[in-house]
Amino acid sequence: MHTESINDKKLSLTLVDAIVFKHNVQPGAVIPVLQEIQEEYGYIPPAAIQRIANHLGVFSSDIYGMVTFYAQFRLQPPGKNVIKVCHGTACHLGGAERLTEAISQHIGTTEGRTSKDGQFTLERVACLGCCSLAPCVTVNGEIHGRLNPESVGKVVNKLKEEKTANVE
Amino acid sequence: MKRVDDKSWVIKVGLASCGIAAGGSRVFGVFKSKLEGKDLDVELKPVGCIGMCYREVLVEVSSLKGRVFYGQVTPERVERIIDQHIIGGQPVAEWTVPQEEIDSFMSRQKRIVLRNCGIINPESIEDYLDSGGYMALHKALTKTPLDVIDEITRSGLRGRGGAGFATGVKWLMTRKAAGSPKYVICNADEGDPGAFMDRSVLESDPHSVLEGMLIAGHAIGATEGILYVRAEYPLAIQRLEKALEQAREKGFIGNEILGCDFDFNISIRQGAGAFVCGEETALIMSIEGKRGMPRLRPPFPSVSGLWGRPTNINNVETFANVPWIIANGAGAYAAYGTDKSKGTKVFALAGSIARGGLIEVPMGISIREIVNEIGGGTASGTAFKAVQLGGPSGGVIPASMSDIPVDYESINKTGAIVGSGGMIVMDEKACMVDVAKFFLNFTQDESCGKCTFCRLGTRRMLEILEKITGGEGSEADIATLEELAAEIRKSSLCGLGQNAPNPILTTLKYFRDEYMEHITARKCPAKKCQALITYIIEAEKCPGCGLCIRYCPVNAISGNKKEPHTIDPDICIRCGLCNSICRKGAVIAV
Ligand SMILES: Cc1cc2nc3c(=O)[nH]c(=O)nc-3n(C[C@H](O)[C@H](O)[C@H](O)COP(=O)(O)O)c2cc1C
Ligand code: FES
């Protein structure tokens, strides 16, 4: 069975319109609007930026300025699985760099990139607030703590197996 | 609340983010399915975090006969706990947390902010009401706004977001400011890496924060509240949404609250991943849909804040204190703490600490008591070297100074700050130059770019630190660092820039030798800085298992099976994976 993931989704301008209207076409609501669009598509598609700018009567460069200022927003579609490694203080001291290195090896891509097969995106995050279980990562939003280079491999391999199971 | 008798049990599973990260949801699920169909009088309750994160998944089993905590519970252990403890009446002694451990962790604490955390179900307003919730709001609404403000002022409560500004004074300023509507903002941006007080409170006891905001609303004459929560805290947001819905249903939020002439609504706004948006004026810009850049104060938000209106902005922990103060009186709160720092403070203990988690202690307690008595010393069991307080705006305090009391004034004197409450404990494996570099990397990355000195100065300092940790530093670099630090402090608009030099200045002040080792001997005493170490394999310890060969990203390791392996230093990139992975500890840094 192949389930459609968010990065296959075609941009629907009607949906973008609906989100902007839900927030009463207020320029002040641009962050929640962008958040909802990213929630839908996994990133902020350029055509959506143009559309929002038209609605709000601002330049699309203004919206780009917002998207690039706030670290949460992506301009590229992410892979099917998003892994975020915490690089907060506790995780840094607990070996976040090594964890990143180990994950890179397992998924075949480096920080800030998506693997060639589109399966994995590896990102960094400032602190997940789970510092007492450092080092931590999130996998598709789920937090895993007390990791080491070996146990993080298990987490990644499980995702890979799930993928194989889906293909069958 | 359910009546508990001899045969009835309550099982509480810690399901804040820390519990969930440790596998709590699965443990809860297994309890649920195993209890189903059994004729037992058991209430299974999800709770937040009681603070003993190091013991997660933590399960509390209680009856009239007493209560027992199980630590590090796995799904596999559930069945035996049910069979032996619930059905058989005999706790599984080897899995319980020893009473002495609980005592030494808890007995020095005074839990005001954390009064309900880990005890009530955060998703149940009934639980909150049963523990006295919203009684303080009732009480506050029978008082005049000025009386409420007076109570807060007399309690001595100071803002817990970092700066420690007197809360009552701020409320009075906003009360007196002309303009309407007025706003109450709760700052839940918690951007300091290594801090998780606010997350834990929001996930474990969201109503206490809402109640604090409502009381502030009444006191100030505000009609609208906004919770600004960082997007990295999805569970906190989810529980807040639920709490808001319940509070609206019960009439604690909305129009004519509790039959009084008081209308107040609360909504949630999510941050979008910018540390600087924790600064109050930047936060307000962000809510207004702009890029979050701090502006010059005055005017303070109290006078001209959101949409140019009077706005009172407080931190999560500040608000969570408020209902307790109103319920128990200013005097009860001021009975804790020191002369100028009243009450309690929540700290997030992390790093190399045996008992990492969340604690709340009276102001004035010593660092040593926190680290050694409550925290049980370092995780490695070796001596502790320093604590870092205040995150990127704070600094390190060496172990030799750990008898100083934790209050705003005493900590400021060391060059660090109390900050929001992140306390990272470091043992001799932490390199102080690396720690400074870590924070500078953070601040230069998060600088909004508005002030030139903050933007370029932090980058310049980072480059110098990279030079030093790269083995190419000179003594002149230290002087340059100190000059830059003074300039940045002077010419930055907000706390981000003004305090950015603190991690460097404190490490230089207390660990200058360590900098000098890097510069003159080209050595990193903590064996952390990659350019200054070499990894080798100790032949007598190496069983030749091949694990490190498989993990090495650059194929620097070779050797036959069952024979000691060797690392080629010319190929090795010193990532340290082999060192982490080796089960025999055969890979060492020299
Ligand atoms: C760079 C920077 C980041 C800040 N981040 C936070 C934060 O994450 N949470 C917070 O409550 N206060 C933060 N503050 C402090 C706020 O500006 C403000 O002082 C605080 O929210 C006031 O609340 P309080 O009086 O209850 O402490 C930050 C300040 C600066 C300069
Ligand atoms: S430092 Fe990684 S969770 Fe806080």
Please report, for the domain that includes residue A45, its CATH number.
1.10.10.1590
The ligand with the least distance to the CA atom of B229 is: 1
At residue A161, the pLDDT reads 85
- Of the candidates B353, B574, B140, the one whose C-alpha atom is nearest the C-alpha of residue B588 is B574
Query: What is the domain extent for residue A146?
Result: 81-167
Whether A18 and A53 share a structural domain: yes
Residue A167 in this model has a pLDDT that exceeds 60: no
For the domain made up of B344-427, give the CATH fold.
Ubiquitin-like (UB roll) (3.10.20)
B504 touches B552 (CB < 8 A): no
Pick the ligand that lies closest to the CA of residue B190.
Answer: 1
Give the residue among B265, B7, B279, B236 at the shortest CA–CA distance from B123: B236
pLDDT in tens, chain B (590 residues): 455 556 699 999 999 999 999 999 999 999 999 999 888 999 999 999 999 999 999 999 999 889 999 999 999 999 999 999 999 999 999 999 999 999 999 999 999 999 999 999 999 999 999 999 999 999 999 999 999 999 999 999 999 999 899 999 999 999 999 999 999 999 999 999 999 999 999 999 999 999 999 999 999 999 999 999 999 999 999 999 999 999 999 999 999 999 999 999 999 999 999 999 999 999 999 999 999 999 999 999 999 999 999 999 999 999 999 999 999 999 999 999 999 999 999 999 999 999 999 999 999 999 999 999 999 999 999 999 999 999 999 999 999 999 999 999 999 999 999 999 999 999 999 999 999 999 999 999 999 999 999 999 999 999 999 999 999 999 999 999 999 999 999 999 999 999 999 999 999 999 999 999 999 999 999 999 999 999 999 999 999 999 999 999 999 999 999 999 999 999 999 999 999 999 999 999 99
Q: How many domains does chain A have?
A: 2
- Strands, E assignment, B363-499: 384-389, 395-398, 422-427
pLDDT at A2 over 60: no
Residue A107, token pair as written in the block? 């998924």
Q: Is residue A140 part of a domain?
A: yes
Same topology between domain B9-99 and domain B344-427? no
B401-418 pLDDT, tens per residue? 999 999 999 999 999 999
Pocket of ligand 1 (CB under 6 A): B 159-163, 165, 187, 189-191, 276, 278-280, 313-315, 318, 420, 494-496
Q: What is the pLDDT of residues A121-154, one digit of tens each?
A: 999 999 999 999 999 999 999 999 999 999 999 9
pLDDT band at A4 (very low <50, low <70, confident <90, very high): very low
Share of chain A above pLDDT 70, in %: 92
User: Could you tell me the two tokens for B26?
Assistant: 């699965």
Mutate-to-test residue for ligand 2 from A97, A100, A123, A128, highest number of ligand atoms within 8 A of CB: A128
Take residue B43 and report the two structure tokens written for it. 């209430």
Task: Give the three-state DSSP class for A103.
Answer: helix
Minimum CA distance residue for ligand 2 atom 1: A88
What pLDDT band is residue A166 in, cutting at 50, 70 and 90?
low
Q: How far apart are CA B517 and CA B533, in angstroms?
A: 13
- Residue at which a domain ends, from A42, A69, A96: A69
Q: Do B274 and A133 touch (CB under 8 A)?
A: no
Cα–Cα distance measured from residue B525 to residue B540, given in angstroms and rounded to the nearest whole number: 24
Say if residue A63 is in the same domain as residue A33: yes
C-alpha B345, offset from chain centre: 11
DSSP string, B305-366: -GGGS-EEEEEHHHHHHHHHHHHH-HHHHHTSB-SSSBSEEEEEEEES-TT-EEEEEETT-B
Which residues does chain A have within 8 Å of residue B20's beta carbon, measured at their own beta carbons? 143
Q: What pLDDT does A28 receive?
A: 87
Q: Could you report the predicted ipTM of this complex, rounded to two decimals?
A: 0.93
Any ligand 2 atom below 6 A from CB of A25: no
Which tokens in the block code for residue B41?
């009088």
Tell me which chain A residues have a C-beta less than 8 angstroms from the C-beta of B424.
89-90, 93, 131
**Nearest-10 Cα torsion for B300, B306, B310, B316:** -80
Does a structural domain hold residue A107? Answer: yes
CATH code reported for the domain at B9-99 = 3.40.30.10
Looking only at the bridges linking them, the beta strands covering B59-63 and B66-70 are antiparallel
| Residue ranges of domains in chain B | 9-99, 125-334, 344-427, 432-521, 534-589
Residue A97 within any structural domain of the chain: yes
* Whether the CB of A83 sits within 6 Å of ligand 2: no
Cα dihedral B382, B357, B226, B274 sign: positive
**What is the pLDDT at residue A11?**
87
CB atoms within 10 A of CB A3: 7
CA distance B191 to B230: 8
Is there an atom of ligand 2 within 6 Å of A16 CB?
A: no
On whether residue A30 sits in a domain, the answer given is yes
C-alpha B590/C-alpha B581 separation (Å) is 17
Neighboring chain B residues of A127 at a CB cutoff of 8 Å: 191-196, 232
Q: In the prediction, which pLDDT does A25 show?
A: 87
Domain B432-521, CATH class in plain words = mainly alpha
Q: What is the pLDDT of residue A152?
A: 94
Q: Which long-range contacts (CB under 8 A, 24 or more apart) does B456-464 make?
A: B457/B484, B457/B487, B457/B488, B457/B497, B457/B500, B458/B488, B458/B497, B458/B500, B460/B484, B461/B485, B461/B488, B461/B500, B461/B501, B461/B504, B462/B437
Contact A89 B424 (CB under 8 A): yes
- Residue written as token pair 């209902």: B323
Residue A3 has a pLDDT of 39
Contact A149 B577 (CB under 8 A): yes
CATH code linked to domain B534-589: 3.30.70.20
Selected for mutation to probe chain A from B551, B557, B579 (highest A CB count within 10 Å) is B551
pLDDT score recorded for residue B511: 98
Judgement on whether residues A85 and A140 belong to the same structural domain of the protein: yes
Q: Are residues A63 and A123 in the same domain?
A: no
CATH fold of the domain at B125-334: Rossmann fold (3.40.50)
CATH number at A152 reads 3.40.30.10
* Interval B432-465: pLDDT, tens: 999 999 999 999 999 999 999 999 999 999 999 9
DSSP string, B295-321: ---SSPTTTS-GGGS-EEEEEHHHHHH
In a domain, A5, yes or no: no
Q: How far apart are CA B186 and CA B208, in angstroms?
A: 12
Mutate to test the pocket of ligand 1, among B185, B213, B280 (most ligand atoms within 8 A of CB): B280
